[in-house]
A and B are shown apart, each in its own frame.
Chain A
Amino acid sequence: MSTLVEELACERVRPETDHRILVCGGIPCRSLGCRLVKEALEEELQKEGLTGRVPVEIIGCIGDCSLGPSLIVYPEGLVYQKLAPEDARAIVREHLVAGRIVEALLHRDPRSDEILRQREEMPFYREQARLVLRNCGVISAHIDDYLKYRGYAALALALAEMNPEQVIEEVKKSGLRGRGGGGFPTGRKWELVRTAHSDEKFVICNADEGDPGAFMDRNILEGDPHSVIEGIIIAAYAVGAARGYIYVRAEYPMAVHRCREAIAQARQKNFLGDNILETGFSFDLEIRTGAGAFVCGEETALISSLQGTRGDPKPKPPFPAQKGLWGKPTLINNVETVVNIPLIILHGSKRFAELGPEGNRGTKVFALAGKVNHTGLVEVPLGTTLRKIIFDIGGGIPNNKKFKAAQTGGPSGGCLGVESLDLPMDYDSLREAGSIIGSGGLIVMDEESCMVDLARFYLDFNQDESCGKCTPCRIGSKRMLELLQKITEGRGEEQDLEILEQLALLMKNGSLCALGRTAPNPLLSTLRLFRDEYLAHIKERRCPAGVCRSLVRPWINPELCKACGLCARVCPAEAINGEKGVPYEIDLEKCCDCLRCLKECPFNAISQGGISRAEAVD
């Protein structure tokens, strides 16, 4: 029997035989000029008299961002990559007209030197299990395309043949857990909202995607908005809601635009609105945008923001399932969570539960980024090892550098070191290892990444985003950040680590919402795994990875300087001054850290990180 993944892949083999070009419209490809490629293609098509015969469309992200700008030519399903507008000519004349594949534009696997034609042949895709991303990069965001691939069939099935309790039962049996970070069992949450007594209930889809390294929700909303909408409608039917909202980050204008269009299309076909598909069930959906506040991803803060005020979080309980929007029972689910729903309804909870270990069913999309060869969205069954994701799918670390750590769960998460490479990536294993899956951000770091700096980075983020309502988070994060700054500037003392640990505990236990309660996590996990690195910053005033600026900036030791002036002559920033007989000095305001002076000095008088050492001596 084929797996659900294979079944979906089969379904998605193009039913049409005509040529069609789908250009990747993910953000990296957009930045690299995919629109120009599209225009060039249209121009070439016109020259060949093929205008209108071969549609060229910009769709959502195809997947491997390191190949951009890329496109897929159907019906062959060929991927042409790293394109410039000039390549349009070859694609049209050679491929479309003469029927010869343009080998030069295909992807060549750097490891095997093999030419890879189809998406499915590339290791980046081959090893994935694209359930949630089933339509991303395969179809356009238009409803007609979605309907060709059994779109809204799950909704029709649920409305016609299942009562709300049966839908909830199916979701419960699937074992699906929330993908927004908390991992709460989705079916149970639905049941709570269903059984809450009220004249009115709401459904909210959380598309705030606050982790500053995660982009899966955005790609789904841009590439496959109808799957999100279908999932939300089924959820609304199950819990008994008549109105819903998608709360999208203001920073995602394209996602907002595509969702608006998709909602209008769905309304027109009566998947939304009154008496949906003549079943007597009515539901309508609206888009609301955030305004750039991380805490608004937290559900109670999100509700405050939806009500048109500051996004202040509220103590729980009461949970939104009891008292949410306007005080009414409210279901809040993440984008990725709801995209799983149509699959579960259509293919059955049993098929879904074949993926992933007990208690961690289904797949998870990770946003793979950082020091890794292939950056992009990677969807794998829960329980897949970190090694497989980073090395088999991601193609390993660039420039033959060594893997040092991976950060998961964003600002609320933690680090996993080399010893965790064979750890199954699921909710429970990660929690045991001191991190979380979170929303799926996965940042790879190599030996040139400083873990103390990373902890400072996340604390800076959390401190900046703290809403300031509760003291442990407002002041705790500030004090912790100050201590970390002190350490990264080479002014740290050993006792600072203990103070940091105490403050972390206070914040974890005392903060009002999960932002503050989880904010110390990146610090605690790096401190546990890389304490040596902290100590190097403190005791030796040294940043082993060479990242912390105060510790790597050049400094002229006045005792060794012979005032020869060579350094000043090679300095491109004219940052070194001095005169005969007096030791030279570097103006760090001007210095650009190129370290040419250091290499040039015949007396080894220039070293890195000396400033803080000098201060420590003072």
Chain B
Amino acid sequence: MEQIIDKYRGDSTAMIAILHDLNAAFRYLPREALEIVSDRLSVPLSYLYSAATFYRSFDLEPCGEHEIQVCLGTACHVRGSERILDALSRRLGIKPGETTADGKFTLKRVNCLGACALGPLVSIDQKHHGHLTIHQAERLLEAYKDEHD
């Protein structure tokens, strides 16, 4: 925590970089952490929250053990990614942006993962799975569930 803030000491433009580092370290932005940043950089907490909520990269709630990203970029969309998102959402019983009650899975929608050739694309813990059908996506999810039971 202190290390992260010290790394950017003195640079008033570093707020976004600090938030990135904190988000990576805690997997979200805990309020206590933001309070410390606010204190050390002498900026109001509301200012930090205004940035934290503006940018998509920051999470205000803890992310689940596995992060599932369903690509909703244009190329994946025209190849039917929304149905895959629906299917996963139904299977997990959560809406996009939410985390399952057991803290295992977070379901997210993202814009273009840059592998449009493989669409529709789902990325689980940064590993890409391409050319998915609804069925395959569901099986993939089951595999992750089983693996960790």
Contacts and interface: CB of A to CB of B under 8 A. Distances in A.
A90 interface: no
Contacts of A530: none
Contacts of A251: 57, 110, 113-114
A592 interface: yes
Given A289-B16, A305-B16, A310-B50, A370 B78 contact: yes
Interface string A274-310: 0000000000000011111110000000000111111
Interface in B94-129: 110-119, 121, 127-129
Contacts of B14: 308
Interface stretch (A132-140, A143-151, A175-183, A210-218): A210-218
B contact face: mostly helix, strand, loop, or mixed: helix
Given A31-B115, A31-B128, A291 B58 contact: yes
Interface string A460-496: 0100000100000000000000000000000000000
Contacts of A376: 117
Contact of B16 (A213, A291, A367, A443): A291
Contacts of B117: 28, 65-66, 68, 369, 375-376
B134 A218 contact: no
Contact of B112 (A66, A213, A308, A592): A213
A250 B78 contact: no
A128 to B, nearest CB: 17
A454 B74 CA distance: 9
A376 B115 CA distance: 9
Nearest to A213: B74
Contacts of B78: 370-371, 443, 445, 449, 454
A288 B11 CA distance: 13
A443 B134 contact: no
B117 to A, nearest CB: 3
B3 interface: no
A1 to B, nearest CB: 37
A169 interface: no
Interface in B1-47: 12-17, 19-20, 47
Contacts of B115: 27-28, 31, 65
A369 B119 CA distance: 9
A369 B19 CA distance: 34
Contacts of A375: 75, 116-117
Contact of A369 (B72, B74, B90, B127): B74
Contacts of B111: 212, 294, 461
A467 B54 contact: yes
A32 to B, nearest CB: 7
A311 B54 contact: yes
Contacts of A454: 77-78
Interface in A216-235: 218
Contact of A28 (B50, B86, B90, B130): B130
B60 interface: no
Contacts of A306: 13
Interface residues of A, number: 53
A327 to B, nearest CB: 14
B54 A213 contact: no
A549 interface: yes
Interface in A158-179: none
A367 B117 CA distance: 10
A65 B50 CA distance: 39
Contacts of A187: none
A76 to B, nearest CB: 25
A410 interface: yes
A32 B77 CA distance: 20
B130 A31 contact: yes
B54 A308 contact: no
B13 A308 contact: yes
B57 A307 contact: no
A457 interface: yes
A592 B51 contact: no
Query: Quick one: which of A27, A308, A310, A410 has the most chain B CB within 10 A?
Result: A308
Nearest to B13: A308
Contacts of B73: 212-213
Contact of B118 (A28, A293, A407, A592): A28
Nearest to A215: B114
Query: Quick one: which of B50, B77, B115, B117 has the most chain A CB within 10 A?
Result: B117
A308 B117 CA distance: 35
Nearest to B135: A592
Contacts of A441: 74
Query: Quick one: which of B16, B90, B116 has the most chain A CB within 10 A?
Result: B116
Given A66-B117, A218-B114, A292-B57, A443 B75 contact: yes
B83 interface: yes
Query: Quick one: which of B12, B58, B112, B128 has the most chain A CB within 10 A?
Result: B112
Contacts of A308: 12-16
Nearest to B8: A308
A375 B17 CA distance: 34
Given A291-B20, A309-B15, A213 B83 contact: no
A213 B116 contact: yes
Contacts of A27: 113-115, 128
A28 B129 CA distance: 10
Contacts of B16: 288-291, 305, 308
B41 to A, nearest CB: 10
Interface in A10-49: 27-28, 30-32
A291 B87 contact: no
A458 B90 CA distance: 24
A618 interface: no
A592 B87 contact: yes
Contacts of B54: 293, 310-311, 467
B28 to A, nearest CB: 14
Nearest to A572: B135
B17 A289 contact: yes
Given A370-B74, A589-B90, A65 B116 contact: yes
A407 B20 contact: no
Interface string B57-91: 11000000000000011110111000100110010
B118 A31 contact: yes
Given A32-B118, A307-B13, A369-B116, 13 more contacts: A32-B130, A65-B115, A290-B55, A291-B56, A305-B16, A308-B14, A309-B47, A310-B50, A370-B116, A371-B78, A375-B117, A407-B74, A457-B77
Interface of B: 12-17, 19-20, 47, 50-51, 54-58, 72-75, 77-79, 83, 86-87, 90, 110-119, 121, 127-130, 134
10 contacts: A27-B115, A65-B118, A66-B117, A213-B73, A251-B113, A292-B55, A305-B16, A310-B50, A375-B75, A407-B74
Nearest 4 CB-CB pairings of A with B: A292-B56, A65-B117, A291-B55, A31-B128
